[in-house]
Amino acid sequence: MPALSPPALQPFLDLLRCPVCRACLRPDRGALRCPAGHTFDIARQGYAGLLTGARATSGDDVAMVQARNRFLSTGTYAPIREALAQLTADVLPDRGTIVDAGCGTGYYLAGVLDQLPGARGLGLDTSVRALRSAARVHRRAAAASWDVFRPFPLADEVADVVLDVFAPRNPSEFHRVLRPTGRLIVVRPTDRHLAELRGQVPGMVTIDPAKEQRLQHTLGPFFEAAETQRLEYTASLTRQEAADLVRMTPSARHLDDANPARHGLLSCQVTVSVLATSYRPR
């Protein structure tokens, strides 16, 4: 008797497509298989390993994921999660489908699903370390390894909301997988975000002032902005939290040992400043 896929993946099979030939996928002995025989393992932790062959060029490593899990569990970014849940609730129909591109550990997807009892959510990320968390983050969530820069292993017009929170973007694929009534919700930092921390860590990646223009330029052909919320507040960080916040970003390489004090990182107040925009497909 063929083994079923983990229950978490079962309700998402209508969404998924074979990344090689676009056919439907069926569970088969601990894997997902298409009629042509393309086979994708289901990891012990429950996520579908759809990204096979050539490795993705980006994705968080284990230290970054651990730091992200620790930091997000402090609740410092809970207001961002709440704003996102509200923006999603405004547009999501009952029993809607959310796709979280670059979902990381699934922190935001879980928060949104908590507020929307009929919704289901699929997270995509290149980082298997992050997916181990994301696959188990919520009982109405599932996760799959995928590189957002490649055509998504998803059917056309299946998502009511695509979330992109501090993650890479693929506007044409976002557009293809969204229903015409759907929304893309993008959260990104402003140039004031964590400015105090940037001052403390030499070489910490700065926010490109032209970022908003570039975002508009790349999304513009596919989407028009429907609503933007600016969220800005001050948070007090312990030295450990400040270090985790740096370690969960690409700036982590500038903190190359376990002792934040060596880098002069202190407990501090930081400005959290992000924009969250809901976009309508053109």
**Residues in touch with ligand SAM (CB under 6 A):** 56, 58-60, 68, 102-104, 107-108, 125-127, 130, 147-149, 165-168
Q: Pick from 3, 4, 21, 62 the residue near Zn ion by CB under 5 A.
A: 21
For residue 36, the partner it binds in Zn ion, ligand SAM, none, with Cβ less than 5 to 8 A by kind, is Zn ion
Report the nearest approach of Zn ion to the CB of residue 36 (Å): 4
Q: How far is the CB of 156 from Zn ion (least distance, A)?
A: 17
- Between 27 and 106, CB nearer to Zn ion: 27
Binding Zn ion (rule: CB under 5 A), the pick from 8, 9, 16, 18 is 18
Q: Which entry of ligand SAM, Zn ion, none binds 103, CB below 5 to 8 A by partner kind?
A: ligand SAM
Whole-number minimum distance, CB 38 to Zn ion, in Å?
3
Report which residue's Cβ sits closest to ligand SAM: 104
Q: Which of residues 30-69 bind Zn ion (CB under 5 A)?
A: 34, 36, 38
Question: Quick one: what does residue 38 bind among Zn ion, ligand SAM, none, with the CB cut-off 5 to 8 Å set by partner type?
Answer: Zn ion
For residues 151 and 168, which CB has a smaller minimum distance to ligand SAM in the complex? Answer: 168
Minimum distance of Zn ion from residue 200's CB (angstroms): 49
Find which of Zn ion, ligand SAM, none residue 18 binds, CB within 5 to 8 Å per kind. Zn ion
Instruction: Give the pairing of strands 97-101 and 159-165.
Output: parallel
Measured distance CA(129)–CA(133) in Å, rounded: 7
Q: How far is the CB of 281 from ligand SAM (least distance, A)?
A: 21
Count CB atoms within 10 A of the CB of residue 110. 22
Tokens of residue 86, six digits: 């509200």
Return the number of the residue (68 or 175) whose C-beta is nearest ligand SAM.
68
Please state whether 139 falls in left (phi above 0), alpha (psi between -120 and 50) or beta: alpha
Total residues contacting Zn ion (rule CB under 5 A)? Answer: 7
User: What single string gives the DSSP state of each residue in the chain?
Assistant: -PPPPPTTTGGGTTTBB-TTT--B-EEETTEEE-TT--EEEBPTTS-B----SSPPS----HHHHHHHHHHHTTTTTHHHHHHHHHHHHHHPPTT-EEEEET-TTSHHHHHHHHH-TT-EEEEEES-HHHHHHHTTS-TTEEEEE--TTS--SB-TT-EEEEEEESS---HHHHHHHEEEEEEEEEEEE-TTTTHHHHHHSTTPPPPPTTHHHHHHHHHTTTEEEEEEEEEEEEEEE-HHHHHHHHHTSGGGGGS-SS-GGGGT---EEEEEEEEEEEEEE-
Which residue lies nearer to ligand SAM by CB, 27 or 59?
Answer: 59
CB of 79 or CB of 168, closer to ligand SAM: 168
Shortest Cβ 28–ligand SAM spacing (Å): 26
Q: Which residue number, 98 or 167, has a Cβ lying nearer to ligand SAM? A: 167
Residues that bind Zn ion (CB under 5 A): 18, 20-21, 23, 34, 36, 38
